């Protein structure tokens, strides 16, 4: 069966750019794929003309373009946010060695758009599409944090704060203190408040300064211990910042 060599090379280039996520130059692509610079440049120019990639005027490097996001929107469940976040989340799992969820708030529930599991034998898992109550601790603190305190009080008085475990916070004023910490530090914590033996860290993703979703790292308490938490928080916040910047750059119609 005949296959056009230039088409195979073009596919290799596009896959490399997508997998790496960050800006890439002609030389870097050429060296990694063992394709001549002139060929790489021609392929990039064709993709750029089709708006599958865009070239930064200052660095002269290439990143994924709007047309490719639009094309992939119908492939990935969760649409634009899932498509943009996936490569960042895969890197995050490698850094923290815990399962990572991408979530959005839908009325009074939190929905899992994507889940990337750690490779450890014992790990937290949840299917894509699963929902949790908005009062689930770590995500509740994250998603309610942009609201003002009076609205939060009204919201929690209406729905209550269930006692899921012995560590669950059921006092609204105490919960507001936790939300204030979330605002101050940019992340929320769950220390076995929703599920016994499970710890979690979450932070919001923004699009043009508006909350658009959240990413959450979950692990067993023995694994996600106090010594490890600070590193996980650092990587989680950095990943959320990168996703937010990329997500704000594109607006899919």
Instruction: Please report, in tens digits, the pLDDT of each residue of the chain (253 residues total).
Output: 445 678 888 888 888 888 877 688 888 888 888 999 899 889 888 888 888 888 887 888 888 887 776 665 544 445 688 888 999 999 999 999 999 999 999 878 899 999 998 888 888 888 888 888 888 889 999 999 999 999 999 999 888 899 999 999 999 999 999 999 999 999 999 999 999 999 999 999 998 888 999 999 999 999 999 999 999 999 999 999 999 988 887 654 4
Q: What is the topology classification, in CATH, of domain 75-249? A: Beta-Lactamase (3.30.450)
Model pTM score: 0.67
The pLDDT score that the predictor gives to residue 160 is 87
| Positions of CATH 3.30.450.40 in the chain | 75-249
Which of 132, 114, 74, 135 minimizes the C-alpha distance to 215?
114
Work out the burial of residue 138: count CB atoms within 10 Å of its CB; fewer than 13 is exposed, 13-18 middle, 19 or more buried: buried
* The pLDDT of residue 2: 44
Alpha helices in 64-200 (DSSP H): 66-72, 79-96, 137-144, 149-159, 172-185
Q: For strand 210-220 and strand 188-191, is the pairing parallel, antiparallel, or unpaired?
A: unpaired
> What is the distance between the alpha carbons of residues 239 and 132, in angstroms, rounded to a whole number?
23
Burial class from Cβ neighbours inside 10 Å (0-12, 13-18, 19+) for residue 96 reads buried
- Positions of CATH 1.10.10.10 in the chain: 5-70
Residues contacting 24, CB < 8 A, separation 6+: 16, 17, 61, 62, 63
Q: From the options 3.40.50.300, 1.10.10.10, 3.40.50.620, 1.20.1530.20, give the CATH code of 5-70.
A: 1.10.10.10
What is the pLDDT at residue 101?
A: 94
């Amino acid at each position: 069966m005949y296959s056009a060599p230039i088409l195979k090379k073009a596919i290799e280039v596009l896959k490399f750019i997508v997998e790496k996520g960050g800006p890439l130059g002609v030389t870097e692509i050429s060296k990694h794929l063992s394709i001549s610079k002139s060929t790489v440049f021609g392929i990039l120019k064709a993709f750029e003309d089709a708006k599958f990639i865009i070239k930064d005027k200052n660095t002269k490097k290439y990143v994924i373009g709007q047309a490719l996001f639009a094309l992939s929107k119908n492939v990935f469940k969760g649409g634009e946010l899932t498509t943009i976040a996936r490569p960042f989340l895969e890197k995050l799992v490698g850094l923290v060695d815990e399962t990572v969820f991408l979530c959005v708030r839908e009325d009074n529930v939190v929905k899992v758009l994507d889940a990337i599991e750690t490779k450890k034998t014992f790990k937290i898992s949840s299917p894509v599409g699963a929902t949790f109550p908005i009062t689930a601790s770590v995500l509740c603190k994250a998603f309610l944090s942009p609201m003002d305190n009076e609205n939060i009080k009204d919201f929690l008085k209406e729905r209550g704060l269930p006692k899921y475990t012995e560590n669950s916070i059921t006092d609204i004023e105490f919960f507001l203190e936790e939300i204030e910490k979330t605002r101050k530090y940019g992340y929320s914590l769950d220390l076995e408040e929703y599920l016994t033996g499970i710890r979690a860290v979450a932070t919001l993703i923004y699009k043009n300064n508006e909350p658009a979703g959240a990413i959450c790292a979950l692990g067993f308490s023995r694994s996600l211990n106090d010594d490890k938490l600070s590193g996980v928080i650092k990587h989680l916040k950095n990943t959320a910042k990168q996703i937010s910047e990329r997500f704000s750059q594109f607006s899919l119609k």
